Amino acid sequence: MTGRRWIALVVLLAVGVGLLVTVVVVPWGDDAPASNNPGVYHEGEDVTVAEGDEFVVALPANPSTGYAWTAGENPDVAFVSSRQVSGGTQPGSPGTQQLTFRGSHAGASTLALAYARSFEAGVPPAKTAKFAVTVTT
């Protein structure tokens, strides 16, 4: 064999090994873990969730007014977090408050939320919302 043929053989072998490693090592889309995004519910919708799973309640809110949604006690769900999603680019624009909960105990109950100012004790909430929640095992 001549020198050029040896070089061509080595290059071909290196490319073949590289392709083999790529096919074996690189995770492909169907092998990737499935995304487990929690379901999002709006006022008037019933919530059904498995015990241990999370769900999101999305309600209109404008934090620049001092109001925020808070959840009352519930035996079947646990509060996880809350975040405000902007509704526009202008300061003071209304948006959506997303409250995340986790199904903690199997059962059926009502999740009650109040839209009020935390610094106005004793004042009734400006709005309320209720969700029928079913947590399954």
Helix (H) or strand (E) holding 79: strand 77-85
Instruction: Report how far residue 54's alpha carbon sits from residue 41's, in angstroms, rounded to the nearest whole number.
Output: 11
Instruction: Report how far residue 15's alpha carbon sits from residue 129's, in angstroms, rounded to the nearest whole number.
Output: 62
What global pTM score does this model have?
0.71
| Amino acid at residue number 40 | V
What are the tens digits of pLDDT across the range 26-56?
655 555 555 678 999 999 999 999 999 999 9
Q: What is the mean pLDDT of the chain?
A: 87
Helix (H) or strand (E) holding 18: helix 3-25
Examine the pLDDT at 84 and tell me if it is beyond 80: yes
Domains, in order of start, for the chain? 39-117+129-136 (2.60.40.2020)
Cα separations in angstroms, 111 against 22, 76, 88, 103, 134: 50, 9, 29, 11, 10
User: How high is the pLDDT of residue 135?
Assistant: 97
Q: Cα-flanking dihedrals φ and ψ of residue 11, to 5°?
A: -65, -45
User: How high is the pLDDT of residue 9?
Assistant: 73
User: How high is the pLDDT of residue 88?
Assistant: 79
User: How high is the pLDDT of residue 117?
Assistant: 96
Instruction: Report how far residue 131's alpha carbon sits from residue 57's, in angstroms, rounded to the nearest whole number.
Output: 9
